[in-house]
Amino acid sequence: MNRVKRGVKLFIFILSILLVFTVGYQNLEYNWQWYRVLPYLFVFKNGEFIKGLLLDGLLLTLKISCFGLLFSFIIGLLSAFARLSSSPVLRLVSWFYVETIRNTPLLIQIFLMYFVIAPVFNISAFFSAVIALSLFEGAYSSEIIRSGILSVSRGQYEAAQSLGLSTPVIYSKVIIPQMLRQTLPMLAGQSVSLVKDSALVSTISIYDLTMQGQRIVSETFLTFEIWFTVALCYLIITVSLSFLIRRFENRLKFIN
């Protein structure tokens, strides 16, 4: 019964929001032209599939996000281990990295990477964006991973040592699997944040999904149609990513 009441309240709330937007758009007297959006996604010409600007941007966003997710996890894992190591130097370096990155805006970090560091090492705009995103998200992942490792009881580490297992085997077979089970929801949140934060790479002239949207809007003035489509594309990516991570989380629980 309570579930039905919650469903009715949610339906009324959504309906109210839709009514507000409908009335508001009628007052704007905006001429909706959704039929013009599809060619910016894809077209079939003479039986051949041709990508549109938005689809090109979407694929580039996916590419940046995939590299960013991989590198941010590696950076976060290494930083967490450095923070937990017995070396004062490694702990200090890891602490400095995490605190510096977490307490400065991502947009500034992207600018510093692209305009200051990239010209020195001849790094392309694409990899400048990937590195900046990876370092930013890696700092947050580092603290998540570190807390997950600390949550594993010391007794399990000692028990594995008593069985004669080496330190790498202990971490790969005992510590990290348990850490993943506990931190996967938080890491999933960081992964979704990385995808959304990737929109900022458009500021350094990378024609990702956001930049392509800006380009199309400036040429066609299809403001609402294009930005709604761009938002939907990001929503599809993040929801799909959350679904895949949730499936992986359930599989880990089943294995456990």
**For each of the chain's 256 residues, which pLDDT tens digit applies?**
566 677 677 678 778 777 776 676 666 667 778 889 999 999 888 888 889 999 999 999 999 999 999 999 999 999 999 998 888 999 999 999 999 999 999 999 999 999 999 999 999 999 999 999 999 999 999 999 998 888 887 777 777 777 777 777 777 777 888 888 888 888 888 899 999 999 999 999 899 999 999 999 999 888 889 999 999 999 999 999 888 888 877 776 655 5
| pLDDT at position 255 | 56
Which sequence spans correspond to the domains of the chain?
53-255
d(CA 245, CA 151): 21
Per-residue tokens: 128: 């400048």
Distance from C-alpha of 230 to C-alpha of 58, rounded to nearest angstrom: 9
pLDDT at 3: 63
User: Of 52, 72, 79, which Cα lies nearest the Cα of 195?
Assistant: 72
> What is the predicted pLDDT for the residue at 21?
67
What pLDDT does 249 receive? Answer: 74
Report the distance separating Cα 174 and Cα 167, nearest Å. Answer: 10
The secondary structure of residue 183, as a DSSP letter, is H
Q: Give the integer Cα–Cα distance in Å for 113 and 110.
A: 5
The CATH number for 53-255, chosen from 3.40.367.20, 1.10.3720.10, 3.30.830.10, 3.40.50.800, is 1.10.3720.10
CA 30 – CA 36 distance, rounded (Å): 15
Q: Rounded to two decimals, what is the model's pTM?
A: 0.84
How far is it, in rounded angstroms, from Cα 116 to Cα 19?
49
Using a CB cutoff of 8 Å and minimum separation of 24, what contacts does 62-65 make? Answer: 62/237, 64/126, 64/129, 64/130, 64/133, 64/198, 64/201, 64/206, 64/208, 65/194, 65/195, 65/198, 65/237
Confidence (pLDDT) at 244: 86
